[in-house]
Amino acid sequence: MDRIPILRMGEFLLVTIQVDMHDQLALTLQDDLSERISACSSKGVLIDISALDMVDSFIGRMIGNISGLSKIMDADTVLVGMQPAVAITLVELGLTLPGVITALNVERGMTLLRARLDHQ
């Protein structure tokens, strides 16, 4: 079965979603991430969706869930690289992802995670 790869970068985990995910793949990613956060004692998760040309309510919910469960496990989640058309469509759909931290790209997201970690 195919999986979205999760890369470990020191205290952080990086997920780059480059395929159009079917629902089961999204659910698997959610499970895998929570396992990895726990196993690596990660302090932050970066989810790069710059390659996605569409986010529907299912994927949106998965992102919200990951953000929520990582928070409980003492890790911040930063969502990076959302395309303008995707952002406008999500807002129109009624999904504004409150509480999810966002950044323009992976580099900025990483800086943001470091700053939050230093702040603690």
C-alpha 27/C-alpha 113 separation (Å) is 24
Q: Does 97 bind another protein (CB under 8 A)?
A: yes
Rounded to the nearest 5°, which phi and psi values hold at 25? -65, -40
Spatial separation of the C-alpha atoms in residues 33 and 11, rounded to whole Å: 14
Binding segment (CB under 8 A) for another protein, from list 7-15, 31-39, 66-74, 79-87: 79-87
User: β-strand 44-48 against 12-16: which pairing, if any?
Assistant: parallel
Contact 14/6 with Cβ under 8 angstroms?
yes
Is residue 111 a contact point for another protein (CB under 8 A)?
no
Please report how many Cα atoms fall inside a 13 Å half-sphere around the Cα of residue 120, on the Cβ side. 10
Q: Two tokens at 10?
A: 């020191």
Longest dimension (CA), the chain: 40
Instruction: Decide: is 41 part of the binding site for another protein (CB under 8 A).
Output: no
The answer to whether 82 contacts another protein (rule: CB under 8 A) is: yes
**Closest approach of Cβ 41 to another protein, in Å?**
26
CB of 106 to another protein, least distance (A): 11
Question: By CB under 8 A, is residue 118 in contact with another protein?
Answer: no
Q: Which of 22, 35, 68, 71 binds another protein (CB under 8 A)?
A: 22
Q: Is 108 near another protein (CB under 8 A)?
A: yes
- Interaction site with another protein (CB under 8 A): 20-24, 53-58, 60-61, 79-97, 102-105, 108-109
